[in-house]
Structure 1
């Protein structure tokens, strides 16, 4: 089965292929000129993108949107992750936190799957808890803007510091709550 991933980020497509290959799914990159609405509701943002994509294609596709909620900053930047990262960068985001302030963070990934043939959109959400380091660390971005500043729960390295084996262990640890795994399981049950 082939599914288009509506994104310009090739690293996201590679990750989706890693996660979905065992379900017999091949993910193909399909960049489209989509506008991202500014809303604090991650489902609303992702659905808006999916509705826009439906104007360009009727083939099966997925769309992903992410949110980063820093607990001590009242869940800022939330769904405004992309414009905040593009404007401030990861170093300035970390400077918003005072010394000794709670550094816990939740990254939420919202995946929308359109099965094609005028069928209903399906929603799958992944949640990843962790903490923020004092400064950005590592170079391997792996398609996630937060890779240099996200330390997964029970780990001591940022995603960007992890080698391939550690990255795979992270993915395995979060498998039950991974949005791609949830999609793969849903497809395999159909």
Structure 2
């Protein structure tokens, strides 16, 4: 596999996080936007299908290996919601597309619910070329529970409501370096690196 990989995302924070870990394996990442690749559609009902669609899209348009992720929050009492719709949870219910609206909608959906167990989920897909029949797939879960009152100023998305009992803090209260070392994305990246080492890249 080429040591230059296109990331099927325009999220600068995500690119920094991926680059920090994969750079140690000698892999140079480039954001798809720098290569003129538009964002892919994400029409699927599962994280892995969306990530695979994004990876194949970027690989097809650049001729490079491509890395994509799809991630979100899954709440046990809501049968896995918001899941793949995490970024537009409130919008799908007729509200606006924003972190604040998503969090308000989630808290409202959980009123009267005692089981607040949830987890952040991330799946990473790496394709060597657009038609790769055996993409590398790695996943990570970060377990916590949902609290009604937001806490913390770091992070994004549902982080102010995602409480980690073992740390006695929400994800938004964690120092970014601590979060990045423990998060669902970090767990998935570690698993991907193990797969790359196993396959000799």
CA contact (8 A) 2:153 2:172 kept: yes
CA offset at residue 184 of structure 1?
Answer: 1.2
- Alpha-carbon distance change, 91 to 18 in structure 1, aligned in 2, over 3 angstroms: farther
Cα distance change, pair 169–42 in 1 and its aligned pair in 2 (3 A): closer
Q: For 1:92-103, what aligned pairs fall within 5 Å after superposition? A: 92-99=105-112, 101-103=114-116
Judge conservation of contact 1:40–1:79 (CA < 8 Å) in 2: yes
* Length-normalised TM-score, structure 1: 0.83
Partner of 2:124: 111
**1:158 to 2:170 alignment:** yes
Alignment deviations for residues 18-63 of structure 1 (CA, whole Å, 9 cap, x no partner): 3223322332222332343333222222222223223312212201
1:129 corresponds in structure 2 to 143
Question: Residues 117 and 99 from structure 1, CA distance in 2 versus in 1: closer, same or farther, beyond 3 angstroms?
Answer: closer
SS at match of 1:75: coil
- Asked whether 1:145 is paired with 2:157, we answer yes
Displacement of 1:169: 5.4
Q: Number of matched residues?
A: 185
Q: In the alignment, which residue of structure 1 is the partner of 2:15?
A: 13
Matches of 1:168 and 1:10, distance apart in 2: 14
* Long gaps (5+) in structure 1: none
SS of 1:53's equivalent in the other structure is helix
**Structure 1 pair 72/119, CA: closer, same or farther in 2 (3 Å)?**
closer
Q: Unaligned 5+ residue runs, structure 2?
A: 91-96
User: Deviation per CA, 1:98-136, whole angstroms, max 9, x where unpaired?
Assistant: 245211112210111012385432211111111112222
| Equivalent residues of 1:91, 1:136 under 8 A apart | no
**How do 1:57-72 and structure 2 match up within 5 A?**
57-72=62-77
My pick for the range that moved more, 16-25 or 101-110, is 16-25
- 2-side partners of 1:118 and 1:41: how far apart? 20
Superposition CA RMSD, Å: 2.5
